[in-house]
Each structure stands twice: as C-alpha cells, then as structure tokens.
C-alpha cells in the first residue's frame, strides 16, 4: 500500500511540474519575442565569442548596465542598447540572448535572440578590417537554426504562429557598409574608383531585399527596419576630418541619405508584394539629427564629443577602453564613444520608435506593430 501511495504521489508531482512548465512556456509565448539583427549599435555580446578586433567586453563599456552590475557585456555603450530598451518596454521578461552565448538554448529563446555583430553589414565583405564579424547573411543563417529549435520547443504549428504573430524582427544595419567598406580610408579607394555611389547603393538595396525576403520565407511577418543615421556627425568622422563642433562630413551623410531614400521605397514595395508582412520604417537619420542639432533641448552638454575615448578634439580616434578619458556625467553626452550613442540618447530614440508619429516611425509605431 505504501508503494502504491508513493507511486501515486510521484505521478501527481510529475503532472504538476509539467503543468507549471507548460504554463511558463505559455507566459513566455504571450510576451512575444524580439529577434534582433544588425551591427554594433545593437550587438549584445556576440562578438565576445568571435576572434575579432571589434569587441566591447572591456571596461568601462557597460558601466551603467545594471543587469550585469556595471560590468561589460559586449554592448558598445555605457548601458542598454535601443533593442534592449524596446524589448523591455514591449513587456518581454528578458533581454534577447546573444545567439553565440552558451545559454542561448531552451525556453530562453522565446524571449528572443540577438544575432547582431559589431562590424557586420549587409554585404559579406563589409567589416573585413576587423578580421571577423557576422554579416547579415550569416545572422539569418543563425536565425534558421533558432527557427528549428523553436519548432522543437513548441511544435511546428504553435512555433509558426509564435514567429508570425508574437515576434518582432528588428534590423539595424547599413552604417558599416559605408564607414567600414565604401568610405574606409585608403583601403576603399579602389572600390570607389570602380563603383559609383549609385552602383554601390543599388548593390546594397538588391542584397538587402533578398535578405528580408529570406526572413519572410522563414515566417517573419512583423519587421522594423532602421535606416542609416547621420554617420558624418559621429565623433570619429568629425575628428579624422578635422571639423568644427557644428559641422558634419557631407559625403558620408549624402551617401546615407541616398541609401535611405532607396530603402524607404524598397520597404514600401515589400509591404505591397509580401502577403501578411508589415515592414515598419524607422527614420533613424532624422531622429538622431534632431537630437544632435538640438542637443541642449534634450538635456545634453555635447553632441560632438565622445564621453569615452581618446584622440583629437572630439575624443574620436581611439575606442573606449580602460585607458580612455571618460566624462564625469554620462547622461549629458549624446555619444558614448567615437561611434555609438550613449544610453541616454538610446532612451530618446527608443521612446520615439515605441510611441512616435510618422515623421520618425511609419506606417505605425512599435506598440501598434506588437498589437497587430
């Protein structure tokens, strides 16, 4: 009799454990997921696991990232990225885990996965100066692996429903295709002689269209795609071109605007041609330019100088590291380092993407996209 009671107790316990697991999985499914693709603006630590010259897992990067007690995580900023902030605000219980991290397995995938890589671009050749990085093609290859893992977690039918209805695909890429490819000092001169700006932008758009369509074939339906920001205004560009505080590099910004116009048209085409898809266009260029131009209105002291860096008038030559000069109040600088925004700037950008109007995010903001 005692054996039967013990067996019954074990069966009841097993039933409740499985019930709790199912409920936990259901909760995570209900919260939805962020699948994040891109470059160092949204990399959450993938480059930590690559033999690459582009890394941010050194102090004082991450000094304000409270979830890791102010220790570096591989994020190229002092705190959270735009992707982190958006995920939090949309109710996701965890930050999207870096795909290359050892813990990117099991139910954690249902909060989302981050595939972004510092130095990565639309073109596979972009960022070769860093030796190693994940191009967007490779990032999508990795999502294909995740897609199969979610099938195993939820079953094919529920997995497809989760990907199509509960997941947002965020793509922040393109800046490196100019900064660390077409505009790269010395190394890119041959490319620029052989390929006109029009031809280079055409190559980017054609390649990117194919990549977004590939994600669609893997059941992605809700997308937010950021255009290229005012790359001619970052401290690195201002420093190497010896500009004044209120100046930006004209060629870099002109190329970004040329690409951005084509990108907007391409996203409209995809919305027309891919049934059930919603491509949201994030006008990062105008949004960041607004913050740079009117920085004092947003409580910043500088929109030219890196908070953390070394070299030149704007501390724009040497990336942020242990020997860098660091500003006393990180919330007062638009730029954390020679290339990347501070968490304070990321918060302003993320707020507009979440709640803003059509001048910055169209045809709908991210809260509306989530609720589709």
- pLDDT given for residue 194 in this prediction: 73
∠ CA(81), CA(253), CA(326), 5° rounding?
A: 45
- Does the structure show a pLDDT above 90 at 19? no
* Distance, CA of 120 to CA of 297 (rounded, Å): 33
Give the rounded percent of residues in the chain with a pLDDT score beyond 90. Answer: 88
Q: Which residues form the catalytic set?
A: 40, 337, 340
* Distance, CA of 322 to CA of 371 (rounded, Å): 43
**For residue 16, what pLDDT band results from cuts at 50, 70 and 90?**
very low
Answer yes or no: are the C-beta atoms of 84 and 350 closer than 8 Å. Answer: no
* Distance, CA of 18 to CA of 29 (rounded, Å): 16
User: Rg of the chain's alpha carbons, rounded to an integer?
Assistant: 22
Mean residue pLDDT across the chain: 92
* Distance, CA of 316 to CA of 7 (rounded, Å): 68
Distances (CA, A) of 113 to 42, 97, 104, 204, 244: 12, 5, 8, 25, 40
Render pLDDT for 286-323 as a digit per residue (tens, 0 to 9).
Answer: 999 999 999 999 999 999 999 999 999 999 999 999 99
Render pLDDT for 327-364 as a digit per residue (tens, 0 to 9).
Answer: 999 999 999 999 999 999 999 999 999 999 999 999 99
* Distance, CA of 126 to CA of 178 (rounded, Å): 8
Residue 275 CA, distance from chain mean position:
25
* Distance, CA of 351 to CA of 89 (rounded, Å): 9
* Distance, CA of 205 to CA of 225 (rounded, Å): 13
Render pLDDT for 43-61 as a digit per residue (tens, 0 to 9).
Answer: 999 999 999 999 999 999 9
* Distance, CA of 232 to CA of 241 (rounded, Å): 10
* Distance, CA of 38 to CA of 114 (rounded, Å): 9
- Does the structure show a pLDDT above 50 at 6? no
Helix (H, G, I), strand (E, B) or coil at 306: strand
Enclosing H/E stretch for 349: helix 343-355
Render pLDDT for 98-123 as a digit per residue (tens, 0 to 9).
Answer: 999 999 999 999 999 999 999 999 99
- pLDDT given for residue 184 in this prediction: 84
């Amino acid at each position: 009799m005692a054996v039967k009671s013990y067996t019954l107790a074990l069966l009841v316990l097993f039933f409740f454990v499985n019930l709790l697991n199912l409920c936990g999985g259901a909760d995570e499914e209900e919260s939805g997921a962020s699948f994040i693709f891109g470059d160092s603006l949204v990399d959450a630590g993938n480059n930590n696991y690559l033999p690459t010259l582009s890394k941010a897992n050194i102090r004082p990067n991450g000094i304000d990232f409270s979830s890791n007690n102010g220790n570096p995580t591989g994020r190229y900023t002092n705190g959270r990225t735009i992707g982190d902030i958006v995920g939090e605000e949309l109710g996701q219980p965890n930050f999207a885990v870096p795909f290359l991290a050892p813990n990117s397995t099991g139910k954690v995938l249902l909060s989302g996965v981050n595939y972004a890589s510092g130095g990565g671009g639309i073109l596979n050749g972009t960022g070769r100066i860093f030796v190693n990085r994940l191009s967007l093609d490779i990032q999508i290859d990795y999502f294909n692996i995740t897609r199969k893992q979610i099938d195993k977690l939820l079953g094919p039918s529920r997995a497809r429903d989760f990907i199509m209805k509960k997941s947002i695909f965020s793509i922040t890429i393109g800046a490196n295709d100019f900064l660390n490819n077409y505009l790269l000092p010395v190394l890119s001169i041959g490319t620029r002689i052989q390929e006109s700006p029009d031809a280079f932008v055409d190559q980017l758009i054609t390649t990117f269209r194919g990549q977004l369509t590939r994600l669609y074939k893997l059941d992605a339906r809700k997308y937010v795609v950021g255009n290229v920001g005012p790359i001619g205004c970052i401290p690195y560009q201002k420093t190497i071109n010896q500009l004044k505080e209120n100046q930006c590099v004209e060629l870099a910004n002109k190329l970004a605007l040329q690409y951005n116009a084509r990108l907007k048209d391409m996203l409209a085409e995809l919305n027309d041609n891919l049934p059930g898809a919603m491509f949201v266009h994030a006008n990062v260029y105008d949004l960041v330019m607004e913050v740079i131009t009117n920085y004092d209105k947003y409580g910043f002291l500088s929109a030219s100088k890196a908070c953390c860096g070394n070299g030149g008038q704007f501390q724009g030559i040497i990336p942020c590291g242990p020997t860098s000069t660091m500003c006393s109040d990180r919330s007062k600088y638009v730029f954390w380092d020679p290339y990347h925004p501070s968490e304070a700037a990321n918060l302003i950008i993320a707020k507009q993407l979440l709640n803003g109007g059509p001048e910055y995010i169209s045809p709908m903001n991210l809260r509306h996209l989530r609720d589709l």
